[in-house]
Chains A and B, each alone.
Chain A
Amino acid sequence: GESVGLHLPTLSVQEGDNSIINCAYSNSASDYFIWYKQESGKGPQFIIDIRSNMDKRQGQRVTVLLNKTVKHLSLQIAATQPGDSAVYFCAENGQGAQKLVFGQGTRLTINP
């Protein structure tokens, strides 16, 4: 079936460096993507979204890049801070506009 996955299950970065979290999706019908952040014991938090008619979108310290040719999504976090430590999920709407399919998640660890 269609799925959303991640290239790396864990990522460790130095505080202050930039982080890049990757996601591959397989459903070419997906036209909307969301990145979520989940801290321990909390619900997923909406970070940033992007529609398929865009290839880049920027937020506060975060940028999402979408490459539809290779079905690849990435989340870039600038100047990573200790508070960025969390699990990050990508999600896509390939099963219907109002339904999301989630990847397994990447755990981001910040080294001091």
Chain B
Amino acid sequence: DAGITQSPRHKVTETGTPVTLRCHQTENHRYMYWYRQDPGHGLRLIHYSYGVKDTDKGEVSDGYSVSRSKTEDFLLTLESATSSQTSVYFCAISDWGGAGWEQYFGPGTRLTVT
């Protein structure tokens, strides 16, 4: 998984509770991303980061916030989890590969909100 770890790998939480997912990379790549993957929707971008403390929204950012205080770590926070946020969350990192900005994915976090 290209030097990317995600934690936790599985989590069950109750509606209304805060949840933080962590992505850690050892590749020193500049760009980091959070996606969610749901049946019928494929992979959708939540937020991404283009450097330490530099983040921007993706297409499904409502209800999520992110932070990046170090190059290697990108945190995704659900301030108050809802059942619609039950999903598999993937972190990705990106760097220039010669032909384009190659993205590599972590193993994923399965989140269930009850």
| Docked complex: B39-60 residues within 8 A CB-CB of A | 40-45, 48, 50, 58
Interface residues in A, total, Cβ within 8 A: 24
Is B100 in contact with A97, judged by CB distance below 8 angstroms? yes
Q: Chain A's interface: helix, strand, loop or mixed, by majority? A: loop
Is B103 in contact with A50, judged by CB distance below 8 angstroms? no
Distance from B93 Cβ to chain A, minimum over Cβ atoms (Å): 11
Bound complex: CA A103 to CA B41 (Å): 9
Is B42 in contact with A104, judged by CB distance below 8 angstroms? yes
For residue B44, which residues in chain A have a CB less than 8 angstroms away from its CB? 102
A105 at the interface (CB under 8 A from B): yes
Is B42 in contact with A102, judged by CB distance below 8 angstroms? yes
| Docked complex: A65-112 residues within 8 A CB-CB of B | 89, 91, 93, 97-100, 102-105
Is A42 in contact with B108, judged by CB distance below 8 angstroms? yes
Bound complex: CA A42 to CA B44 (Å): 16
Bound complex: CA A93 to CA B101 (Å): 9
For residue A97, which residues in chain B have a CB less than 8 angstroms away from its CB? 100-101
Is A34 in contact with B107, judged by CB distance below 8 angstroms? no
Contacts A43-B1, A43-B106, A44-B90 given: A102-B101 contact, CB under 8 Å? no
Bound complex: CA A12 to CA B58 (Å): 34
Bound complex: CA A42 to CA B1 (Å): 9
The residue from A43, A93, A100 contacting B108, defined by CB atoms under 8 A apart: A43
Chain A residues with CB under 8 Å of chain B are 31-32, 34, 36, 41-46, 49-51, 89, 91, 93, 97-100, 102-105
